[in-house]
Amino acid sequence: MKTLKIPARYYRVYTDPNTPCNEKNFHFIEKTLPIPAEQAALVLVDVWSTHYIDSWLNRATQITQQKIVPLIEAARNTGVTVIHAPSPRVVESHHPENMPPKQESSSAQPQEWPPSNFRGLYRPNEFGRNKEPRLDEAHTRYVTELKISNLSKPLPDEPIIATGEQLHQTLSERKILHVFYAGFATNWCVINRDYGLISTCQKGYNVILLRDATTGVEFHDSVDQLTATEIAIREIETKYAWSTTTDDFIVASKDT
């Protein structure tokens, strides 16, 4: 069994007994993780061909070319399972054979409160957000253009999943315990999808984020420094996962 010796870190928000428990005393903990390749998977979250945020798409495309493509190659060469998780919309449109069976109608009572005409961010009253004029344009772009990036096309034998339950089932069937994450966006889908990092951590898997193979959606006052991305990565390193880099993964794959 090939073993990947992965240099990894997490962020410690505790201190030793004789050290004041102040935030200035928090720090990273580093460790080399001996991960059996056949018990590992690389999950590619929403590595898409398009996005409605042009600046973000340019950044994500560069990361895909420079980081994710060599990462996928290293995983494949080492025997790490590569799993594509491109969103239910993409799977249903372009890989329908990988969609889970339709669930039978639930016997649960329909939601009665709040009233249906009150729900949603764009609720039609004084509590709703303003209707975004570009929402329809973005939706149309997704319907007509959205797919897995040509840079990260799945091989015929690589799993494509649409839901967290499919991911869990795939990992269970293959006896996988260690799950690497790469893809987009760090502070949106990577953490919040039902096949995302937090959900997988909560199921008990050992999770490792490739911190340079992802980027978040930034704000007008954070985009120059990529602050939102850094905060999301630090949150992941604090609460949910180890992190490593693509270079460390590639070096480890060559040393097996």
Distances (CA, A) of 180 to 3, 134, 205, 223: 14, 34, 10, 26
Q: What are 77-135's pLDDT values in tens digits?
A: 999 999 999 999 999 999 999 999 887 555 678 889 999 999 999 899 999 999 899 88
Using the predicted structure, report yes or no on whether residue 1 has a pLDDT greater than 90: no
pLDDT per position as a tens digit, 63-82: 999 999 999 999 999 999 99
Domains of the chain listed by start with CATH number: 3-100+147-255 (3.40.50.850)
Handedness of CA 74, 77, 83, 86 (dihedral sign): positive
Percent of the chain residues past pLDDT 90, beyond the cut = 89
The answer to whether 82 and 72 have CB atoms below 8 angstroms apart is yes
The pLDDT, as a whole number, for residue 108 is 72
> Residue 196's pLDDT is what?
98
Structure confidence by residue, pLDDT tens digits, 151-206: 999 999 999 999 999 999 999 999 999 999 999 999 999 999 999 999 999 999 99
- Which residue, chain included where needed, has tokens 């961010």? 121
pLDDT exceeds cutoff 90 at 10? yes
Residue 29 has pLDDT above 80, yes or no: yes
pTM, to two decimals: 0.95
- Comparing C-alpha atoms, which of 77, 75, 248 is closest to residue 178? 75
For the residues 139-147, what does the mean pLDDT come to? Answer: 89
Do 44 and 82 contact (CB within 8 A), yes or no?
Answer: yes
Residue-level pLDDT at 256: 75
Confidence at residue 198, expressed as pLDDT on a 0 to 100 scale: 98
Q: Tell me what the pLDDT averaged over the chain comes to.
A: 95
**Percent of the chain scoring above 70 in pLDDT:** 98
Mean predicted confidence (pLDDT) in 202-229: 98
pLDDT at residue number 18: 96
